[in-house]
Amino acid sequence: MCTKMATTDDSMDDDVFESDDELRGRLAVSQRQTLPKTPSPTGYRGYQPPPEVLKLAENDILEDTEQKTHKTILLGDSGVGKTSLLVKFDTGKFQSGNFSATVGIGFTNKIVNVDQTRIKLQIWDTAGQERFRSITHAYYRDAHALLLLYDVTNKTSFDNIRAWLGEIREYAQGDVVIMLLGNKADCGPQRAIRREEGERLAREYNVCFMETSAKSGQNVDLAFLAVARELKYRQTGEQDQNRISIQDYTKEQSHKSQCPPCGS
Ligand SMILES: Nc1nc2c(ncn2[C@@H]2O[C@H](COP(=O)(O)OP(=O)(O)OP(=O)(O)O)[C@@H](O)[C@H]2O)c(=O)[nH]1
């Protein structure tokens, strides 16, 4: 179903802060005081990375701990599918049904292979609701990459992208990797924003663009892979020989996506 249900779950378990004492101090205390305890979709205590990720970590724990972590943040209006995209990437699953808005912020670690190098992404899922904006601003500053989502069935979420990009300019580092994603691309009949409009906006702001679907999985892995590639090659200063082919691959796979060179 493409219809966004307007229910809100004003709650967040502080489990998402377990591995980050600083966050625990900054955020969780106030939330614990004011909100009932129901876990946010990505902040659950029993979280286990998929077996292939665990295996990678077992093989070379030393290297992984020494490896640079790339802080990657999902941004966009409430209901555009940030949590769903992350859950799909992380678990391969899509949970349809009642929409429960994210409260606060939480992260998931993922390792992505880019040309025999493991790139560690620490992916933060933020709450899209306006009232949490001041919390999420604090996280922009040290972000290496931002995935900015709109919902192709929701014109307001697309119109708000300019405001989001303004905030990014204000709070994030100048060299942050930005990927614009038009999510819910599976929703044919309800579509309100054409792919070309997304592409045009991305060109205007000189950012990468793809259409995605957390439901069908379209371009979900590819979006994170493209971000990891960009981070890797920026970090090493090497030329990405496969960059062109990734863009071609994106087009061929979906006929619905485009990734102009980031920041060029
Ligand atoms: N059809 C379709 N529905 C989607 C897709 N992605 C998310 N949804 C649905 O859209 C609703 C909102 O998704 P969420 O992932 O919770 O949105 P969010 O951006 O995390 O929202 P906030 O936590 O409030 O910021 C849910 O009902 C999802 O099932 C998609 O690609 N296709």
pLDDT tens for each residue of 17-58: 334 444 433 333 333 333 344 444 444 334 444 555 444 444
Q: Is residue 110 part of a domain?
A: yes
Q: Is residue 38 part of a domain?
A: no
Domain limits for position 76: 64-256
Cα angle at 116 between 225 and 238, to 5 degrees?
80
Question: What pLDDT score does 221 carry?
Answer: 94
Q: Is the C-beta atom of 153 inside 6 A of ligand 1? A: no
Number of domains within the chain? 1
Name the residue with higher pLDDT: 1 or 76.
76
In the chain the first and final C-alpha atoms are separated, in Å, by 37
Mean pLDDT of 204-224: 95
Distance between Cα 66 and ligand 1 center (Å): 34
Mean pLDDT of 244-251: 46
**pLDDT winner (highest mean) among 15-24, 89-98, 219-228:** 219-228
- pLDDT surpasses 60 at 225: yes
Q: Is the C-beta atom of 129 inside 6 A of ligand 1? A: yes
Percent of the chain surpassing pLDDT 90? 48
- Residue type for 99, please? F
Distance between Cα 64 and ligand 1 center (Å): 32
Task: Please state, in angstroms and rounded to a whole number, the distance separating the CA atoms of residues 42 and 223.
Answer: 19
Question: What pLDDT score does 127 carry?
Answer: 83
Q: Is residue 56 part of a domain?
A: no
Distance (Å) of CA 243 to CA 223, 225, 236, 257, 262: 13, 11, 15, 15, 10
Q: Is residue 10 part of a domain?
A: no
- Which positions ≥6 away from 49 have C-beta within 8 Å? 57, 90, 109, 110
| Nearest Cα residue to 185 out of 86, 88, 87, 80 | 80
Contact 155, 124 (CB under 8 A): no
Name the residue with higher pLDDT: 179 or 52.
179
Task: Please state, in angstroms and rounded to a whole number, the distance separating the CA atoms of residues 177 and 264.
Answer: 11
Atom of ligand 1 nearest to the CA of 183: 31
Question: What pLDDT score does 195 carry?
Answer: 95
Question: What pLDDT score does 240 carry?
Answer: 64
Question: What pLDDT score does 7 carry?
Answer: 33
Mean pLDDT of the chain: 74
Distance between Cα 82 and ligand 1 center (Å): 6
Q: Is residue 50 part of a domain?
A: no
Mean pLDDT of 103-108: 79
3-state secondary structure 16-37: HHCCCHHHHHHHHHHHHHHCCC
Q: Looking at residue 80, which CATH number applies to its domain?
A: 3.40.50.300
Task: Please state, in angstroms and rounded to a whole number, the distance separating the CA atoms of residues 86 and 166.
Answer: 24
Q: Is residue 13 part of a domain?
A: no
Q: Is residue 154 part of a domain?
A: yes
Q: Is the C-beta atom of 186 inside 6 A of ligand 1? A: yes
Weakest mean pLDDT among 58-72, 104-118, 163-177: 58-72
- CA 152 to centroid of chain Cα atoms: 16
| pLDDT band at residue 178 using 50, 70 and 90 as cut-offs | very high
Q: Is the C-beta atom of 120 inside 6 A of ligand 1? A: no
Weakest mean pLDDT among 6-10, 164-168, 191-195, 259-263: 6-10
Q: Is residue 23 part of a domain?
A: no
